[in-house]
């Protein structure tokens, strides 16, 4: 059952990443990037790294991708700007990617893979991270909070200054 979901997320990630690279419309590329990020988050969930999957969705989808879409939508009315959308160096790039893929596949075929029995642990990583942050790394966690508070106060004071 896990294999089906893994291959589904892998296909979603690879196909949408292909569209990110090949499309000429920036908005379509951003939406394809959204699917790529969700596919990677799904693979993280299957690996049992639910905290990293949540951070992937919050930081990349919720922050960076939305910022990119807003940036494109706010600047799409720029005129008299020459934008090159043609593809350059297709043949050398195809040769380089083909060589790299051949070396990678040859290495994967000749490697001695160790197999281990599958043990599915249904505990979440968030619990372990929380316990570690509040016990083993409590001083670093508190210092990081203080540094972030100082950065927030500095940003607010810089933004408030009138020139």
Residue range of the domain that includes 47: 1-76
Whether 95 maps to a domain, the answer reads no
Whether 57 maps to a domain, the answer reads yes
Which stretches of the chain are DSSP H helices?
A: 2-22, 26-46, 50-55, 66-74, 90-110, 125-134, 138-160
Out of 41-50, 64-73, 101-110, 138-147, which region has the weakest mean confidence (pLDDT)?
Answer: 64-73
Q: Are 46 and 6 in contact (CB under 8 A)?
A: yes
Predicted confidence (pLDDT) per residue in 3-23, tens digit: 899 999 999 999 999 999 888
Whether 12 maps to a domain, the answer reads yes
Q: What is the reported pTM? A: 0.62
**Where is the domain boundary, 51, 76, 101?**
76
Predicted confidence (pLDDT) per residue in 86-119, tens digit: 667 888 889 999 999 999 999 999 998 888 787 7
The stretch 60-76 carries a mean pLDDT of 80
**Where is the domain boundary, 41, 61, 76?**
76
Number of folded domains that form the chain: 2
**CATH number for the domain harbouring residue 38:** 1.20.120.1200
* Separation CA 72–CA 24 (nearest Å): 13
Whether 116 maps to a domain, the answer reads no
Whether 108 maps to a domain, the answer reads no
């Amino acid at each position: 059952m896990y294999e089906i979901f893994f291959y589904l997320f892998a296909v979603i990630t690879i196909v949408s990443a292909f569209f990110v690279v090949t499309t000429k419309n920036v908005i379509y590329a951003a939406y394809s990037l959204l699917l790529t990020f969700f596919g990677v988050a799904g693979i993280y969930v299957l690996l049992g790294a639910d905290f990293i999957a949540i951070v992937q969705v919050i930081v990349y989808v919720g922050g960076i991708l939305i910022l990119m879409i807003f940036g494109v939508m706010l600047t799409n009315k720029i005129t008299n700007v020459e934008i090159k959308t043609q593809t350059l160096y297709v043949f050398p790039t195809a040769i380089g990617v083909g060589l790299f893929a051949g070396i990678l596949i040859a290495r994967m075929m000749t490697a001695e893979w160790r197999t281990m029995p599958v043990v599915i642990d249904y505990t979440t990583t968030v619990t372990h991270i929380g316990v570690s942050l509040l016990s083993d790394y409590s001083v670093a966690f508190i210092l990081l909070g203080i540094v972030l508070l100082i950065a927030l106060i500095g940003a607010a004071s810089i933004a408030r200054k009138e020139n």
